[in-house]
Structure 1
Amino acid sequence: METNDLSPTENLTKKYQLQEQLQITETTFKNFFNNSAIGKALVSTTGQWLETNLVLSRLLGYKEEEFKKLTFQDITHKDDLDKDLALVQKCLDGKISTYEMEKRYLHKAGRVIYAILAVSLIRDSKNKPLYFTAEIVDITHRKRAEERIKKVLSTAKEQNERLKNFAQIVSHNLRSHSGNISMLLDIYQNDYGDENEIITMLVSASDSLKETITHLNEVVSINTITANELKPVSIHKTLVNILPHLPTYAQQQNVEIINKVDKTHKVLAIEAYLESILLNFITNAIKYSSPDRKSFVEISSKRNSDFTMIKIKDNGLGIDLKKHGKKLFGMYKTFHEHKDAKGLGLFMSKNQIMAMKGRVKVKSEVDKGTTFKIYLKHE
């Protein structure tokens, strides 16, 4: 049997020493907790904030008394909450004692804060869970920088792909206008019609070819365009500029071109791109018109708060989207037999649309026709 050989005075001295050591330990802990360079907290096993330091208050915008009215669940991003709760439960079940994760908190002002969270579960002498300690390191600036780098890399990749296909774009656009010249010369040689009219049309087609070459020489610099370089361009004016180069082709195919574009509608675009896009879609519609009916190509526009939609509708051969939908805008992809088909027009047009921060949708039915909807931003 143990006996206490200490005198009452010695017992009292020892008690005071233990109290002093405990006070020193508590003071050391509070200094370590409150003077830390990172966010620290004590959190109950149900998620209630018990104690928080000043760094965490600055990081998330809540005062200490405001924290105590909340749980960590209340200010955790919804997409990260399930993972966090699962790790908490593993700690409570004794499967792990600590965990670390990257997560997002919601600042009092509503913005998202990215952080690295390190958690430890504290248990009593009987192994009963008492509370969690949490260390929270702000990595928001790092994440924003990573996002900017990813965006730059993605833009660089897209620009590189467009540059790789520059030669194909040149070939396709030159072929379109040179085809018109060849056709006009054939008419002249075979029919000996009105020489002045033919020469006038030939000069117009030749001028158009020169303009296309000029535009395509600018494509290299346009491949590095930013949103600030997009300028308001009239859809109607652009369409009117290209229509004189289509009538011979359209007449031979017996296709009526219907212009219903609103004269007031403008889009943020590179003019050479918009001209190329319209020319490609309309030429394709004429090229794949149906010989079994009177054919038409209708171009119209509609504007909403965010985009202006250019609709190009025809009643031609149509495309089997179930069969070809996924490769519709692929390079060298063709869907009808035609001697001039190279499979570049739709590929090139979609890339130009995307370069101008737009998108394109298609609806088609075999032997009924096709409708393309091009969405471009406006001021």
Structure 2
Amino acid sequence: MNYRSCPIIKWVRTIGQGEFFEGKCIKIYGSLQDITERKNTETERTKMISDIFQRNSNLEQFSYIVSHNLRAPTANIIGFVEILQNETINQLEQKELLQGLSKSVSALDNIIKDLNKILQVKNKDSEEKEVILFSQLVNEIKMSITNLMRKKRARIVADFTDVDNIYSLKNYMHSIFNNLIRNSIKYSKLDQPPLIEIKSTKKNGKIFITFKDNGLGIDLNTQDAKVFGLCNRFHTHLKGKGMGLFMGKAQVESLGGKITIASEINKGTVFTLIFEI
């Protein structure tokens, strides 16, 4: 399949009037107007408005990080430095303060690195698209997490018989697949080995890729609006930053796609990726 070629679509507006004789239409007079340019302009305007809303949402997320995540380590660093300037503290206290200072600096550095990753999602102009095989992508990820799968006794069942490839950016697709697979393993049940079913289908000019697991699930009745938000976590008994789904959604949308979720507590989760062919 040539992913670079696509049919030419034209929008037209028709105006017509019928001529009737003895109750039957014998002629139709009318005109056909090409309104493709106008429709394309409307589509671009709608997309621009959607992009503006998305950017505003992203700005709110960044504002949250600056006001919450950055404040704590910064305040700690300032506090430790002020105390260390006190000449009356002994060596043991100084050592403990330096350890605390080091941890706060590391925490601040990690947050800045996370912010940089988010910013890099939007910078894909220099990358070139290529034909990506889903089966090969999953095999590469399985090889990279062999030890994790063996430890958790995880199984991945993939079915790409309907469609096995897409023309896209491999780095992003790899990151999206890797993140969803790792999440399914990480948030699996203690008494049940993780089972991840990945399936691709093609319908109405779109590719649908589903990731279904049998894990802990998410209560969408209370958490639906937060699922793809930044720094949101739903299973606090496990370590995490709450960035995975936010990054995944940002990458999917950067590729022109959409991601949806269906989930129930203790019944697992289904993520669906939707891409135009």
From the superposition, tell whether residues 61 and 330 of structure 1 become closer, same or farther in structure 2 (CA, over 3 Å): closer
- The answer to whether the 8 A contact 1:242-1:279 is kept is yes
Give the whole-Å Cα distance in 1 for the aligned partners of 2:192 and 2:14.
Answer: 69
Give aligned-pair identity as a percent.
Answer: 27
Q: Alignment partner of 2:230: what SS? A: coil
Residue 233 (str. 1) matches residue 132 (str. 2): yes
Residue 291 (str. 1) matches residue 214 (str. 2): no
Residue 282 (str. 1) matches residue 181 (str. 2): yes
Give the whole-Å Cα distance in 2 for the aligned partners of 1:266 and 1:305.
Answer: 16
> What 5-or-longer segments of structure 1 have no aligned partner?
1-59, 70-106, 114-139, 169-214
Residue 349 (str. 1) matches residue 248 (str. 2): yes
For 2:32, the equivalent position in structure 1 comes to: 109
Q: Which amino acid aligns with 1:340?
A: K
From the superposition, tell whether residues 148 and 340 of structure 1 become closer, same or farther in structure 2 (CA, over 3 Å): same
CA RMSD of aligned residues (A): 3.9
Give the whole-Å Cα distance in 2 for the aligned partners of 1:332 and 1:249.
Answer: 24
Residue 333 (str. 1) matches residue 232 (str. 2): yes
Give the C-alpha shift of residue 244 in structure 1. 1.2
- The answer to whether the 8 A contact 1:265-1:308 is kept is no
Corresponding pairs, count: 200
From the superposition, tell whether residues 349 and 109 of structure 1 become closer, same or farther in structure 2 (CA, over 3 Å): same
Give the whole-Å Cα distance in 1 for the aligned partners of 2:53 and 2:276.
Answer: 23
Give the C-alpha shift of residue 334 in structure 1. 0.9
Which of 123, 131, 150 pairs up with 1:221?
123
1:43-122 equivalences under 5 Å are: 108-109=31-32, 111=34
Q: Which amino acid aligns with 1:329?
A: F
- The answer to whether the 8 A contact 1:236-1:262 is kept is no
For 1:312, the equivalent position in structure 2 comes to: 211
Q: Which amino acid aligns with 1:281?
A: L
Give the whole-Å Cα distance in 2 for the aligned partners of 1:144 and 1:295.
Answer: 46
Larger RCO, structure (CA 8 Å, separation 6 or more):
2
> What 5-or-longer segments of structure 2 have no aligned partner?
1-12, 20-29, 66-116
Give the C-alpha shift of residue 267 in structure 1. 1.6
Q: Alignment partner of 2:201: what SS? A: strand
- The answer to whether the 8 A contact 2:252-2:259 is kept is yes
Q: Which is higher, the Rg of structure 1 or of structure 2?
A: 1
- The answer to whether the 8 A contact 2:160-2:199 is kept is yes
Give the whole-Å Cα distance in 1 for the aligned partners of 2:224 and 2:119.
Answer: 32
